[in-house]
Amino acid sequence: SIGGIRDLALLSVLYAIGLRRSEVVGLNLDDYHSTNGNLSIDGKGGKPRIGPVLENVKAAMDAWVDARGDWDGPLFVPFVRGKKLTHRRMTAEGLALIFRRRGEAAGVESFSLHDFRRTFITDLLAAGADLSVVQKLAGHRNISTTLIYDRRGEEAKVKAAKLIAMPRN
């Protein structure tokens, strides 16, 4: 369904680019650059940044843009009666409602849209991405904010400690 196509694109940018709700609903069609694989993001505090749109996200985004049409305006839009596209901007509350319904249908226990952002940051750090790079991708002004999102736990500390080789006599 067209709703499924849109929602997959939404899920993709929330998780794989780590966008805030306000950033997602603020996107316009011309912010998506399918040829170079970038998404121009008007970040918190008016701080712009570029989000890399990787291959699997690009496929979801391209399918959505094809279904949506190429008219100028908001990238993600709501539907009237679940079927007809509107040309108005989706709200952050509407976005949350979509994912609450999707979560319930999938049998997922309570979660927030911000969990996608936390997972994005934690997964990057767990994969070995440099903290300052993750900070820039997340659009955080202070690196301490990025650290708040780190949910790797004790296992990551043990893994890091094993990187140190004790000198031998």
Cα–Cα distance, 69 to 80 (Å, whole number):
16
Catalytic choice (6, 21, 68, 117): 117
Token representation of residue 129: 């991405």
32, 84, 140, 168: which is the annotated catalytic residue? Answer: 140
Which string of b and e fits 119-154 if b means at least 16 CB within 10 Å? bbbbbbbbeeeeeeebbebbbbeeeeebeebbeeee
Among 14, 12, 10, which residue's Cα sits nearest to residue 115?
14
The one catalytic residue in 114, 141, 152, 157 is: 114
Per the annotation, the verdict on 49 as an active-site residue is no
Among this protein's residues, is 117 annotated catalytic?
yes
Strands (E), 6-161: 32-33, 38-42, 48-52, 79-80, 84-85
Catalytic residue among 20, 21, 32, 68, which? 20
Catalytic: which of 6, 21, 32, 149?
149
- List 6, 21, 44, 152, catalytic entry: 44
Q: What angle do CA 37, 42, 48 make, to 5 degrees?
A: 80
Active-site annotation, residues: 20, 44, 114, 117, 140, 149
